Copies of this chain bind each other. A is one copy, B any other.
Amino acid sequence: MRLRVRFAETDQLGVAHHSSYVIWLEAARIEWLRERGLSYRELEESGLSLVVSSLSVEYRQSAQFDDEIDIEVTLQEVRSRQLVIGYRLRRVADGLLLATATTTHIAADRMGKAVRIPADWLAAMLASC
């Protein structure tokens, strides 16, 4: 998944604000699902969400305004009710590794109750590992 750093995502240090990466991870994750035939929008409409239960980011180099960034997404761990997803963010221009990250997700229904991840979702995610 490729994106370009928006001006609004910079801060007064002249680099992308560290909270912007968290939003990019989400966009990359949803694109990664789409490539596997999985629509996060439809999942949401069916009443399920993949809630973020934990997040960690290691920042290595700063991304700057207008930089193009590639985000590589990998499925790190799958259980019936939990996913761990890994990310590597690289600057397109020179391949420099900007950051690595991990997010953990729990499937939840509309009341916030933990539920099983649908079997067809697990299959589609695992098939493409």
A4-36 residues with Cβ-Cβ distance < 8 A to B are 4, 6-8, 10-15, 17-19, 22-23, 26-27, 30
Chain A contact residues: helix, strand, loop or mixed? mixed
State whether the Cβ of A55 lies closer than 8 Å to any Cβ in chain B: yes
A54-B59 in contact (CB<8A):
yes
A18-B11 in contact (CB<8A):
no
| Number of A positions contacting B (CB below 8 A) | 36
A10-B8 in contact (CB<8A):
no
Residues of B within 8 A of A12 (CB): 7, 10-15, 44, 65
- How far apart are the CA atoms of A4 and B66 in the complex, in Å? 18
- Known contacts A13-B49, A54-B59, A57-B55; A27 and B44 CB within 8 A of each other: no
What is the CB-to-nearest-CB distance from A113 to chain B, in angstroms, rounded to a whole number?
12
What is the CB-to-nearest-CB distance from A38 to chain B, in angstroms, rounded to a whole number?
12
- How far apart are the CA atoms of A44 and B49 in the complex, in Å? 22
Q: Known pairs A6-B27, A7-B11, A8-B11. 4 more at Cβ < 8 A?
A: A8-B17, A10-B11, A13-B44, A44-B65
Binding site for B on A (CB under 8 A): 4, 6-8, 10-15, 17-19, 22-23, 26-27, 30, 39-41, 44, 49, 51-59, 62, 65-66, 112
